[in-house]
Structure 1
Amino acid sequence: MWYARALIENRLPPLDEDTWRHGSGPGWRGKAILTDRKPPGAFSFVVYEAVLRAPQVDTEQLHRLLEVARLRNVMVQVLPFDLRAQALSLAESARFIERMVDE
C-alpha cells in the first residue's frame, strides 16, 4: 500500500519518531491516528471512484474502508465518475462501496 505510506509520511502534524518507527510496520493501518486520541480528531475523506477501482485495491481494503467509515469521527464520501458537481452523501457513499464489494 504505497499510497497509504505516502499519506502517513505527509501527515500533519507529523508523527513523532517512536510512533513512526514502531507503528508503521506491516499490517499497521493508522488506527491509532483515527481512534486513540482523546477527544478523537475529526477526519473527512473524499475518495474518487477511480481510486476505489484501481487494480491495487482489493475487497479486503474496501471492507476496511467501510469499517473506518462507520467510526463516529470519520466521514468518507465517494466522488463518482459521472459528472456530478459534488460527492455522494455519507449513506450513498457507504452503499456505493458495498456494491463494489459485491461485484
Structure 2
Amino acid sequence: MHFLCASSDLAEGHSRAFSVAGEPLFGVRRQGKVHLYRNRCPHRGIPLNWAPERFLDDSASLIHCAHHGALFLIESGECVAGPCEGQWLDVLGCQEDSQGIWLSGSAIPATGDQ
C-alpha cells in the first residue's frame, strides 16, 4: 500500500492530485467516500486537469476533463458526455483508515487494467 494523504487533506466535494511511482493519480471525496483514479483521459491519454487540484466541474458533481470537456461520474469513472462517452477512467483501489488515505495494493496496475 502507498500512503497518499491525511484524510483532512481531501475535503468533502473536493479533488486532489497525487503521484505514486511517477504515475499521476487523483482522488475525489463524495458523500464521505474517496474515489481514486489514474489521471488519464481515455480520449487522448492525457491528464484531465490544467490546475493541480481541479478535477471537478463547476457544480462539483462530475469529474471534468479540462482539455476536451468530457464529463465522468465520480462514483464509477464512466464518461457520460464528451468525446469519450461510454468509456471509463482507470479505477484504482483505495482505503481510508485513522492514518489517512492509501492506494491499495503494492503496485499500480498497467494502463487499461481495472
TM-score, with structure 1 as normaliser: 0.28
Structure with greater helix share of residues: 1
Larger Rg: 1
Structure with greater strand share of residues: 2
